[in-house]
Chain A
Amino acid sequence: MDNPESFAAVERSDERFQTFVAMLIALVTVIGAIVVWRASVAADAAGDADFAGLRAMTNVAETRALNFVNAYENYGAFMTFFRHDQLGEMMTQDQTKGEDAAVIEQQRLEARDLATANQHLFPNRFMNRDGTYALQRQLGELWADAARAKDLNPEPQFEDAEKLRGKTLGLLAMVVLLAFSLVSFTIIEALRGCARYVPLAFGALFLFVGVVGTILIELIVR
């Protein structure tokens, strides 16, 4: 060992090792920065997906409120029509039952007029054959019409937001592993001889898991 040539060889070997470790530290730092960037992009996308979901939710609330108000106004007009229409019909049947013919005829005409006046205040295609009103069908049609014009389904966006949140956290967990890798590589500086290979192995393992984990997360959650 006292041989100066062999001493120089050991020193050169040490230098190469130190250089290798320094390159690994630099690599971990660069990869860490890239993973943090990807995590940041995913977090931003999660926020966007949430916003889109809430916009759809606003559409849902607005559509439901307007549809119910409009449909029940129509139903109210139908009920007024129904009352006068039915009353007129009954009076027609009663005209021969001994009531004052002139009075009943006048009332019948008025009832018919009022029914006609209200007939235009609701969409009469929702009238059933039995004289009732298909309110649920009208609500369904109104909903379908609105769904063609705007997004009324917030769930997919909220699900996307959840996935992207998971991705962000997964990537940040990989950053933690890369940080452990960095610690391991730094510890090497304080050690000599074969003991240096233990933190090197751990550092490499953390680096490997971190990189593979990041790639898998990127591939799975797109």
Chain B
Amino acid sequence: MSQSSSQSKTGCGKPIIAILIASVTALTAIIAFLQADAAQRDDRANRDSKRYALEAFGRKVSGDARVNFDYYKAYQEWYELDLLANTATRRGETNAARRYTALRDKIEKLSPLLAPPYFDRAQGKVNVAKYEADTYVIEITELTEKFNAATAVKEAWDAKAGTYIVHLTLLAIALFLFGMAGLLSATAARVIFTATGILVTFVAFSWAFLVLIQPVPDLRATNAIPAYARGVGLAHQGMYKEAIAEYDRAIHAAPDYANALVDRADAYSNLGDHLAAIASYEKARALDSKSARVSGNLAWEYYLVGRFDDAIRINRAALKENPGEAWIRFNLGLALLASGKLSDASATYSETMTATANQVAEAKTAGKEPPYNLWWALDSAAIDLDNLLAVIESGKGEPPRAKITNVDLARPIAESLIAQLKSYAVALEYTGKPPVGSLAAKISALEFGIPEYDAKGNITDYDVNDEFEYGIDEIAAIFDYAGMKNGDQVVFKVYINSKENPSWRLIASWDLDATGSAHRLMSPGYTDTFVFDPGEYSVELYVNSQFAQRGTFRVK
């Protein structure tokens, strides 16, 4: 009786198992179809991303070739001929002036850069940024963003396709369990195998369904990328207000468009709207907290509005993700200094300078050039401290003076750090090692004057001033010195509007007396057309890589 019952149950169970196996096979076919679909979308996006990258590369090279020709050849020819025409006019050579002018005008017809809207003939200036934007910047940006979008789509479909493989594996296990259940004669074992198979099938099916309904956003399907590219083109021309309007359009179309949020924040920052910049950077950071650029710039904006604790917090978080970023370390030191944490600030600057020296030493040992951004980081750190001192002195600028803590104690520390940073930059650049010892020589404050000559061409005196009219072609930096030694290395650096102009740099070996007065003439002697451009000029003097003295003058 029991045997017949068992047989009856077996007879009833086997068709059910057969149906289960067939159903799971059908389900497997469906998920295999979904997997194939996901894999194909993955392949397509992968192909598209490569296609965009190749196209962007080709267009960048061709665009660069075109702009380089138009600026460095066509405009240079125009500029030279214009200069020659002016010089000939000044010398009274009218025929030569007429020839150069006529030729200059003919050259204008050979390049679109020398035509409106890029060329201001009256001023003789070209708007290269607009030309670059129209020629290739917008196009390249669009292609690059499409590349990024396609890569994101590829990754999403790749993940989906990979997950479907897991589901197929689970279904294969379920089929195995059902197959085992069909072979077993013991009822309990058959039920356990069948139930487990059903459970595994249910898990695989539910999981596959969740993966199926998960959307794959594609930025290319919105009109965000063209708007963003136009924004980049406008920002490239310094038209930040107009760029923000385009970035807004891009963000409206795709609220999680991180690049648009970051670039909009940059544009706000350039316009001095730090609160709007902070809001935009914060949104961007919520999408990508690992980016050094986003976190570093957000911390900088916090610093500029006087939120030093936030600046310190974000800088520290950014350094956890990107410990090698010297500029963020220096910004951390600056925020610490402004917030009154003076010893922490000094320690941070000191550690960063040592780390910089180690990086230079490692590069030299490996026979490589140290990364250029090290000098930039050291220079920028000194300039930022200079700006902080200017705020402390004048009460104007950013961060607000009222928010700076321990102003009297911060001032001497900032001055000392500036000297250290500047010495480090020069010492690392010329010796590959940190500066050794301290400054032995004494140099007076630098003064500036227009030299006065006698009939024999010797300088007799200087018209000393710290502000000069536009049109001057020669200025001398004048100083007294003591304790100098023959052979001491002397470096002069000239900054125009806070940016060093390396063509003005002078490296020399000291060959004057130990004590006395000296001057350094600033003027290219090979041309009679040079005049100083308007701006603020800062001249720095280094002796044996030690920052010795500096001075500033303005040309109106």
Chain A residues packing against B (C-beta within 8 Å): 39, 43, 46-47, 50, 53-54, 57-58, 60-62, 64-65, 67-69, 72, 75-76, 79, 82-83, 86-87, 90-91, 94, 97-99, 132-133, 154, 158, 161-162, 165, 168-169, 172-173, 175-176, 178-180, 182-183, 185-187, 189-190
Q: Does B488 contact A (CB under 8 A)?
A: no
- Name the distance in Å between B429's Cβ and chain A's nearest Cβ: 34
Of the candidates A54, A58, A133, A178, the one whose C-beta lies within 8 Å of that of B47 is A54
Of the candidates A99, A133, A183, the one whose C-beta lies within 8 Å of that of B23 is A183
CB of A183 within 8 A of CB of B69, answer no
- Name the distance in Å between A26's Cβ and chain B's nearest Cβ: 14
Of the candidates A90, A133, A154, A182, the one whose C-beta lies within 8 Å of that of B25 is A182
Known: A154-B51, A176-B30. Is A65-B58 also a contact (CB below 8 A)? yes
Assembly CA distance A157 to B68 (angstroms): 34
Q: Which chain A residue has the least Cβ–Cβ distance from B61?
A: A65
CB of A186 within 8 A of CB of B21, answer yes
Known: A47-B43, A72-B65, A183-B23. Is A132-B110 also a contact (CB below 8 A)? yes
B contacts with A: majority SS: helix
CB of B66 within 8 A of CB of A97, answer no
- Name the distance in Å between B8's Cβ and chain A's nearest Cβ: 14
Q: Sorted from nearest, which 3 A-B pairs have the closest CB atoms?
A: A61-B58, A68-B62, A179-B29
Residues of A within 8 A of B40 (CB): 43, 46, 165, 168-169
Q: Does B364 contact A (CB under 8 A)?
A: no
Q: Which chain B residue has the least Cβ–Cβ distance from A183?
A: B22
Residues of A within 8 A of B15 (CB): 189-190
Residues of A within 8 A of B51 (CB): 53-54, 57, 154, 158
**Known interface pairs A47-B43, A168-B40, A186-B22; 11 further A-B residue pairs with C-beta atoms within 8 A, sorted by A's residue number:** A57-B50, A60-B54, A65-B61, A72-B66, A76-B73, A90-B103, A165-B44, A169-B33, A176-B30, A176-B33, A190-B15
A contacts with B: majority SS: helix
Q: Which chain A residue has the least Cβ–Cβ distance from B73?
A: A76
Assembly CA distance A182 to B110 (angstroms): 74
Residues of A within 8 A of B73 (CB): 75-76, 79
Assembly CA distance A25 to B23 (angstroms): 14
Assembly CA distance A182 to B19 (angstroms): 10
Q: Which chain A residue has the least Cβ–Cβ distance from B23?
A: A183
CB of A79 within 8 A of CB of B77, answer yes
CB of B103 within 8 A of CB of A57, answer no
Residues of B within 8 A of A83 (CB): 77, 81, 103, 107
Of the candidates B26, B61, B102, the one whose C-beta lies within 8 Å of that of A90 is B102
CB of B55 within 8 A of CB of A97, answer no
Q: Which chain A residue has the least Cβ–Cβ distance from B68?
A: A72
CB of A86 within 8 A of CB of B110, answer no
Chain B 55-94, CB within 8 Å of chain A: the 1/0 string? Answer: 1011101100110110001100100010000000000000
CB of B36 within 8 A of CB of A68, answer no
- Name the distance in Å between B52's Cβ and chain A's nearest Cβ: 10
Residues of A within 8 A of B43 (CB): 46-47, 50, 165
Q: Does B297 contact A (CB under 8 A)?
A: no
Assembly CA distance A124 to B23 (angstroms): 76
Q: Which chain B residue has the least Cβ–Cβ distance from A50?
A: B47
- Name the distance in Å between B322's Cβ and chain A's nearest Cβ: 32
Known: A50-B43, A72-B66. Is A64-B36 also a contact (CB below 8 A)? no
Q: How many residues of B contact A (CB 8 A)?
A: 46
CB of A87 within 8 A of CB of B62, answer no
- Name the distance in Å between B198's Cβ and chain A's nearest Cβ: 16
CB of A76 within 8 A of CB of B18, answer no
CB of B19 within 8 A of CB of A133, answer no
Residues of B within 8 A of A179 (CB): 25-26, 28-30
CB of A186 within 8 A of CB of B18, answer yes
Of the candidates B21, B47, B77, the one whose C-beta lies within 8 Å of that of A53 is B47
Assembly CA distance A65 to B140 (angstroms): 14
CB of B25 within 8 A of CB of A76, answer no
Please name 22 pairs of A and B residues whose Cβ atoms are closer than 8 Å in the assembled complex, sorted by A: A43-B36, A46-B43, A53-B51, A64-B59, A64-B61, A65-B61, A65-B62, A68-B62, A68-B65, A68-B66, A69-B65, A72-B69, A79-B74, A79-B107, A86-B103, A176-B29, A179-B29, A182-B22, A183-B22, A183-B23, A189-B19, A190-B19
Assembly CA distance A87 to B74 (angstroms): 16
Q: Does B32 contact A (CB under 8 A)?
A: yes
- Name the distance in Å between B461's Cβ and chain A's nearest Cβ: 40
Residues of A within 8 A of B74 (CB): 79
CB of A69 within 8 A of CB of B54, answer no
Residues of A within 8 A of B68 (CB): 72
- Name the distance in Å between B128's Cβ and chain A's nearest Cβ: 16
- Name the distance in Å between A59's Cβ and chain B's nearest Cβ: 10
Q: Does B106 contact A (CB under 8 A)?
A: yes
Of the candidates B33, B55, B59, the one whose C-beta lies within 8 Å of that of A57 is B55
Chain B 478-515, CB within 8 Å of chain A: the 1/0 string? Answer: 00000000000000000000000000000000000000
CB of B77 within 8 A of CB of A90, answer no
Q: Does B99 contact A (CB under 8 A)?
A: yes
Q: Which chain B residue has the least Cβ–Cβ distance from A107?
A: B96
Assembly CA distance A173 to B37 (angstroms): 10
CB of A168 within 8 A of CB of B103, answer no
Assembly CA distance A139 to B24 (angstroms): 61
Residues of B within 8 A of A133 (CB): 110
Of the candidates A47, A57, A190, the one whose C-beta lies within 8 Å of that of B18 is A190
Q: Does B95 contact A (CB under 8 A)?
A: yes
Q: Does B9 contact A (CB under 8 A)?
A: no
Q: Does B16 contact A (CB under 8 A)?
A: yes
CB of B33 within 8 A of CB of A61, answer no
Q: Does B109 contact A (CB under 8 A)?
A: yes
From B22, B55, B73, B74, residue with most partner A Cβ within 10 Å: B22
CB of B95 within 8 A of CB of A97, answer yes
Assembly CA distance A68 to B65 (angstroms): 6
